[in-house]
Each structure stands twice: as structure tokens, then as C-alpha cells.
Amino acid sequence: MTGTENESPTGAQGGVQDAAPTAATATAPNSAPAAPHTANWNLDSLAARGIDPNAAYDSLVEQTAAAIHAAGFTHALIGLSGGIDSSLTATIAVDALGADCVHGALMPSPYSSRGSLLDANQLATNLNISTHTLPITPVFNAFRATLAPVFRDAPPDVTEENLQARIRGTLLMALSNKFDWFVLATGNLSEAAMGYATLYGDMVGSFAPLAPLLKAWVYELAHVRNIRAAAAGHTPPIPPAALTKEPSAELSAGQTDRDALGGYEHLDPVLYRHLFCAADADALIAAGFDADYVTTTLNRYRSMQFKRDLACPGAIL
């Protein structure tokens, strides 16, 4: 049995936020650690929370396989950016379905770095999955030309960034329709909480394996999976660069996630205490978190509920 995803709900893959009247970009305190991807960020790891990381990983694999098969699909498609989220999602998909049933789409834009393309291709090689490279620059330029008479001299902003994400979402769904491939969303809990994704763009997909994971836990499980591979004498699937480079949606020149979120090393501890420990603003401030940052972050979390309401189903822990 095969299915179609014409009207599947939405999920995520490294985009930027759509504008919302009450959303605000968080400003981090000045004491930011330099390497968010290597710090423990002062929040409990999955292991410290009493959750076996290996068992958590296996649960994500099982839930992903179940979601795909329940929908009548046998193959999965992931947009590969070369970043940690899409890398871990693709690895989960391979463990769920087998390499022959997983496909990756590389969709470079004018702002995609050579390193990201190399990392995405290295991941595909390590996982032994097929890939299709679909440059979006011609489509992006056509959209801009069509909109030029209306936009006139308006300077580029988040609009152009979201256009790229929406082009990629359209291409993923076209591949899904043509070949009966189930699109997996790649967003994580930190991004969803802050609305750091594009509606009808990188939020396309019908299941999000990383939905219950804060960014720190994405890195934790990626390390766990690589360690498991090495212990078995296999090549670790996730390239080292994906584990160490600064996260970026690469939708504008020099863009990083830190620019929009203030750094995951600040965001995740606040989200962890708010979402998992029921700490309100007063409790967070009393615990020593910067008052302005807490207020801005929690306000943005509340204002992004409309996006979370439109997100696709995801795994749970």
C-alpha cells in the first residue's frame, strides 16, 4: 500500500521564524560560552534525567518506523542541510527502514556553504543512502522577479529567507508525491518552542523524530549513535563537522541560529526549567537567569503557539 502526502500536516528543517506581532528575538547575557555545541549548558542530560540515551534513541527509531508504516509508506525522504538535525533525522530513518528505503535531498541556495554541502554528502555516504541535488537559486530568482513589481525597493529581510525555505518544502513534497516517499521533518523542541521555523516551508513533513529533544539532547543522541557505530566497528554516521560547527539555517549571508535565538547554551536551560520543571519567570529569575532574557524568551514561547498548533505529529520520550 502506498500513500500520498498532498495534505499532510507540517513539521521542520532548519528555517527562520515567520514574523509575528508579539515575537521578539532574545538577547543573550554577555557571559555566553563560545562553543554551544560542546558545552553541557547547565541542564540535565537525558541520562541525568533517568532516561537511558541508547533506549531513547531506539525509541525514536521505533516510533519513526511505526509512523511511516502506519501511513502506508515504505520509503522516507529528508532534506539534508549538512547540519546536526537533518543528520540525526536521516540516521534515525536508516535505522528505522534500512538504507535502501531512505533518500536525501540537497537543495543549495546562494547562501549555502561549501562545507554544508560536503557534510551532507559525507553523511549520505556514511549512511549509504541515495541523494538528489536540486539547486534552488533559479527558483528563488524567479520568485524575486515575480515579486519585484510589488516589493519595489523594499530591502531584503526575513521574507526572502522564508521564500527559500518554502521553495525547499515544495520540492520535498513534489518528490514525495512523485515517488511515494514519506517526508520526515527535522525540527527539534528548542526550535519549535521559539517558532524558529517557516510555516509551509521547512515545517513540511508528516512526522518529526526530534520533536521531544532540546538542542542539547540532539547532540547527546548524535554522539550516542556515533559511539555505538564505532564500538561495532562501523563508520560513525554523523560527520564530525555536524557535531562541532555553529548551527545555521544559511538563509542569508553570515546567518547563524545564535543571531535569532541568542545561543542554545542560554535558551535550552531556560526552556528545560520552564517546560520540564514548571519554572515560571519569577522562579527562573530567582535562579539567576537574566531577567530580560527570561521575559523575552517566555513571551516568544507563548506567542509561537500558533506555529506549534500547525506542526506535524512527532516522537515522544
- Mean pLDDT across 168-181: 98
Does residue 16 surpass a pLDDT of 70? no
pLDDT digits (tens, 9 = 90+) for 203-245: 999 999 999 999 999 999 999 999 999 999 999 999 999 999 9
Give the Cα separation of 309 and 282 in Å (integer). 27
What's domain 53-308's architecture? 3-Layer(aba) Sandwich (3.40)
% residues pLDDT > 70 (the chain): 86
Does residue 26 surpass a pLDDT of 80? no
* Three-state secondary-structure class, residue 209: coil
pLDDT, greater one: 20 or 83: 83
Write the burial class of residue 157 (CB in 10 Å: 0-12 exposed, 13-18 middle, 19+ buried). Answer: exposed
Write the burial class of residue 130 (CB in 10 Å: 0-12 exposed, 13-18 middle, 19+ buried). Answer: middle
Give the Cα separation of 311 and 73 in Å (integer). 20
- Mean pLDDT across 234-262: 90
As a whole number, the mean pLDDT across the chain is 88
Does residue 5 surpass a pLDDT of 60? no
pLDDT, greater one: 224 or 45: 224
pLDDT digits (tens, 9 = 90+) for 106-132: 999 999 999 999 999 999 999 999 999
Give the Cα separation of 203 and 166 in Å (integer). 9
Residue with cell 561495532: 232
- Mean pLDDT across 272-287: 96
Contact 295, 26 (CB under 8 A): no
- Mean pLDDT across 284-289: 95
The confidence band for 42, taking pLDDT boundaries of 50, 70 and 90, is low
Sign of CA dihedral 180, 186, 192, 194: negative
DSSP string, 248-281: ---SSTT--HHHHHS-HHHHHHHHHHHHHS---H
User: Residue 84: which residues within 8 A CB-CB, separation 6 or more?
Assistant: 37, 218, 219, 222, 238, 242, 243, 247
Sequence letter at residue 226:
N
Residues paired with residue 10 on neighbouring β-strands, in sequence order: 204, 311
- Which range has the worst mean pLDDT, 146-150, 257-261, 274-278, 291-295? 257-261
CA torsion 268→272→273→277, rounded to 10°?
180
Domain ranges of the chain: 53-308
Give the Cα separation of 168 and 165 in Å (integer). 5
pLDDT, greater one: 25 or 249: 249
Write the burial class of residue 259 (CB in 10 Å: 0-12 exposed, 13-18 middle, 19+ buried). Answer: middle
% residues pLDDT > 90 (the chain): 79
Q: Can you give the three-state secondary structure of 111-148, one letter per residue?
A: CCCHHHHHHHHHHHHHHCCEEEECCCHHHHHHHHHHHH
